[in-house]
Structure 1
Amino acid sequence: MGKSKRRSRGKQSLNVTSNCVSDTIKSERSDLNSTNLKTMDVTSEGEAIEVYDSTPIFVEGALGTPFPETPVKPMAKKNKRQEERWPERSDGNASILSAIRELSAKHDETFKKIATIEMTTDSTSKMLESLSSTVHQLVLDVGQHSETLKCLDGEIKTLKEENKSLRAGLYECRRYSWRWLLKLHGVKERAGEDVRRVVIDIFGKMAPDVRDSLNDGVDIAHRLGPARDDGKARAIIVLFSFRRVRDGIWRAERRCKYLEDNSLRLTEPLSPEDRAAREKLWPLVKAARDAGKKASFRSSFALIDGKKHFFSDVK
């Protein structure tokens, strides 16, 4: 009875011990089986992936018998196509990097060009602003000059009118001074002659009514120009002191018998302006005389049938 109880207790303790060892081994095996070993693998497309190896680790237990192997799916073998793709992928990456560097260099060069263009644009803008300011100033100056030119134009017109008036006054003064003169033609020249005395004698015979005034009335008398080689007598210019004496002699000249008998001629000397005017008017006067009209000269104009014709009217 006692021995059987002791045997049953020994068996129970042995079973308990075996169960504990078995549970421990199972727990360790479960922990080891749950541990995944990470490795690298390549897919069929040539991509590298991480693979966890779940192959259980067998530990010999206290019983001394190995655990049965758990069936595991074998790893896929790398085919030649996958092995060949790795260098192609490396070459492709190098080409991409090279293209990226080339694009980056072109990008930098483009940015430099853009920066240069911006600098040129800024410089051009500044130049345009300067030119715009200059043009604006020139426009203002032109406006001022236009006003100045208008004022000057008015002053020039005034000066022209004044000049015209002054010239007319000068011509009239010169013409008036020439009205104190008479010119005597046809008097023979003699050596050592007193030209003034010869003139007074001739005028006394022409106009007996002014004979007594001739000595004071005749101021200067002399011949014009140098002696001529052909022997012809030079004309005598006579300046009178009194206008009334001069006009009396001039009136006596008309149809003077003494002048005709001695082949003498008395004329009015003309100023350069009157001479030019008469030369211009002479064709008009001659045509009027040929047509039977009464035409003559009066100072700087021609009188045809009582109508005055000035040299400015002749084209």
Structure 2
Amino acid sequence: MHDYALSAVTDPGFGNTLDALCSTHLPETPTKPASKKGKMETLEDVLVTSNAMKIEGLKKTVDFVSAEVKDVKVKVDHLTSRLQLGEQQIETCETRLADLERYSRRLNLRLRGVSEKEEENIRDEVIRICEQTYPDGKGKFSFAIDSVDRLGKKQNQIGSKSFPHAVIVQFTSRIVRDAVWKAAKSSAYLKDNGLWFMEDLTPLDGERRKKLWPMAEEARTAGKAAYYVGAHAFINGTEIRLPAYAEK
């Protein structure tokens, strides 16, 4: 053994040196890089998780919108019911109002053909005409007629002809009013003087009678008995009705 080797072995400090060498950590062997297959699996997991989150978000949105739509539908149904009820109430009120207006006009008659003058006593003129129309009522009309008014202020001028406004006559007695109305239908005096009485219809009843007029006129031309009672028309005792679409 060489002297330098022996000295190293026999040297008391050599053990310490050896221990130091043995305690020194050597660098670790690097691990293998992740394979491409592992990377693909990781990407697929991310995509699946992302899509799942998106689907879950869409599901929550759809559930929310569905709940909102359901709530709106409930409100719409409620409003529709209220609207239908309101329409029924309006129709009922209109019917009652029409009945009241119709009842208030039952004492009235309209007289057409009475010439207009600058200063006229239309009440006295109407009383005179009523006495000529219904002679049995002479002496009663001063009390049986309440008010007489022109429906307008001036004459309607069409060419060389003048068309006086109608006169509305309000009676105090329904019996006298009906007697005048009945006598007027066959009065020679009214016919000879171009005068005629008419019922005082409501605007609604007037429109309905206009629509019924062609059917009544056709029946009369055919020799049938056609007449009116208020807004209702009858042919040979049978009431004729408008088609449903014409009633509106």
TM over 0.5: yes
- Structure 1 distance, partners of 2:181, 2:204, is 21
Quick one: which amino acid aligns to residue 131 of structure 1?
L
**Is contact 1:184-1:236 (8 Å) kept?**
yes
- Structure 1 distance, partners of 2:211, 2:133, is 33
Match of 1:265 in 2: 196
Shift of 1:200: 1.7
- Structure 1 distance, partners of 2:90, 2:186, is 42
Quick one: which amino acid aligns to residue 54 of structure 2?
M
Match of 2:175 in 1: 244
The alpha-carbon distance between structure 1 residues 195 and 129, as it changes in their structure 2 partners (threshold 3 A), is: same
**Is contact 2:205-2:231 (8 Å) kept?**
yes
SS at match of 1:231: strand
Shift of 1:182: 1.3
Quick one: which amino acid aligns to residue 243 of structure 1?
R
**Is contact 1:181-1:237 (8 Å) kept?**
yes
Deviation digits for residues 30-78 of structure 1 (CA, Å, limit 9, x no counterpart): xxxxxxxxxxxxxxxxxxxxxxxxxxxxxxxxxxxxxxxxxxxxxxxxx
- Structure 2 distance, partners of 1:187, 1:146, is 63
Unaligned 5+ segments in structure 2 are 1-31
Match of 2:96 in 1: 169
The alpha-carbon distance between structure 1 residues 121 and 201, as it changes in their structure 2 partners (threshold 3 A), is: same
Shift of 1:139: 2.9
Q: Does 1:130 align with 2:61?
A: no
**Is contact 1:300-1:310 (8 Å) kept?**
no
Higher-Rg structure is 1
- Structure 2 distance, partners of 1:205, 1:228, is 27
Match of 2:166 in 1: 235
The alpha-carbon distance between structure 1 residues 231 and 254, as it changes in their structure 2 partners (threshold 3 A), is: closer
Equivalences for 1:196-215 in 2 at 5 Å? 196-215=123-142
**Is contact 2:199-2:230 (8 Å) kept?**
no
SS at match of 1:311: coil
Match of 1:279 in 2: 210
Match of 1:222 in 2: 149
- Structure 2 distance, partners of 1:160, 1:191, is 49
**Is contact 2:116-2:155 (8 Å) kept?**
no
- Structure 2 distance, partners of 1:121, 1:131, is 15
Q: Does 1:188 align with 2:119?
A: no
The alpha-carbon distance between structure 1 residues 136 and 156, as it changes in their structure 2 partners (threshold 3 A), is: same
**Is contact 2:107-2:170 (8 Å) kept?**
yes
**Is contact 1:278-1:301 (8 Å) kept?**
yes
Match of 1:26 in 2: none
The alpha-carbon distance between structure 1 residues 309 and 159, as it changes in their structure 2 partners (threshold 3 A), is: farther
Shift of 1:193: 0.7
TM norm structure 1: 0.56
Unaligned 5+ segments in structure 1 are 1-102
Shift of 1:140: 3.4
Q: Which has the higher contact order (CA 8 A, sep 6+)?
A: 2
Determine what percentage of the aligned residue pairs are the same residue: 29
| Count of matched residue pairs | 211
**Is contact 1:278-1:311 (8 Å) kept?**
no
- Structure 2 distance, partners of 1:227, 1:233, is 5
**Is contact 1:196-1:221 (8 Å) kept?**
yes
Q: Does 1:178 align with 2:105?
A: yes
**Is contact 1:281-1:314 (8 Å) kept?**
no
Equivalences for 1:1-315 in 2 at 5 Å? 107=36, 111=39, 118-119=45-46, 121-225=48-152, 226-229=154-157, 230-312=161-243
TM norm structure 2: 0.69
**Is contact 2:134-2:180 (8 Å) kept?**
yes
The alpha-carbon distance between structure 1 residues 232 and 287, as it changes in their structure 2 partners (threshold 3 A), is: closer
